[in-house]
Amino acid sequence: TSEDGRALPDSREISFNKLQGKTYPSLVVVARPHLRVLDLSVDRPKLDAKVKSVLMHAPTKFTEWLIQQGLVRSEQKCSVHSTTQLKLGMYSDVSKFPYSGGYVWISECCPQRFVSVFSGSLFEGSPHPPMVILKLLYHWSCQTNIQNVTQWVKVDNLYVKGMYTWLRSVCTVALQTHIRQLGGPG
């Protein structure tokens, strides 16, 4: 820092100025994060243990956990009769819905229709089981190296890239929706 307490330019700013020729210092922006992350080595083992314990659950218990966490809807309406609430039930043949342990949404108005418990969630329509998606979500949030993710989770690189792009998009939309605008109009 200088005598008056201002931060002096670092080597990146100086080299940037040399590359660009004459620049206006007020227009040169180099991100310098002032927020320091606390030691994550304390929390990470707890998180790892929690995720590992959840991944060891049987499909029924895993589905119940997903519902409790809000990752799967706890209420669902009939797609044909939009006012009719569906009921969570168990399908008699668990092999028909193996990833949910047999949990399905059952309708009184359409008794022959069974709706996947994952309908309307991030697990719906995925070519991978919900446990794999949860692992990807975990590794994305921990910023695990992509090569390690593809090896550990056994998912191809393109799928990981698409999933991570989608997760970033969700975060971007959430920020734009829930954080008030900085600055004025224009």
Is residue 35 situated within a structural domain? no
Structure tokens at 74: 């706890």
Tens of pLDDT along the chain (186 residues) come to 556 656 555 555 444 444 445 555 555 545 455 555 566 667 788 888 998 999 999 998 999 999 999 999 888 888 778 888 888 888 877 778 888 888 888 888 877 778 888 888 889 888 999 999 999 999 998 888 889 999 999 999 889 998 998 888 888 888 888 887 766 675
Residue with tokens 């359409």: 110
- Check: CB of residue 28 under 8 Å from CB of residue 17: yes
Last residue of a domain, one of 106, 121, 136: 121
Same structural domain for residues 116 and 144? no
Task: Give the predicted TM-score (pTM) of the model.
Answer: 0.69
Is residue 101 situated within a structural domain? yes
Distance CA 64, CA 54 (A): 11
Number of domains in the chain: 2
Q: Left (φ > 0), alpha (ψ -120 to 50) or beta: where does 149 sit?
A: alpha
Three-class DSSP category at 84: coil
Segments forming the whole domain that contains residue 113: 58-121
Question: CA 128 → CA 18, 22, 55, 158, distances in Å?
Answer: 50, 54, 14, 13
Distance CA 44, CA 186 (A): 42
CA triple 99-60-107, angle to 5 deg: 80
Same structural domain for residues 113 and 165? no
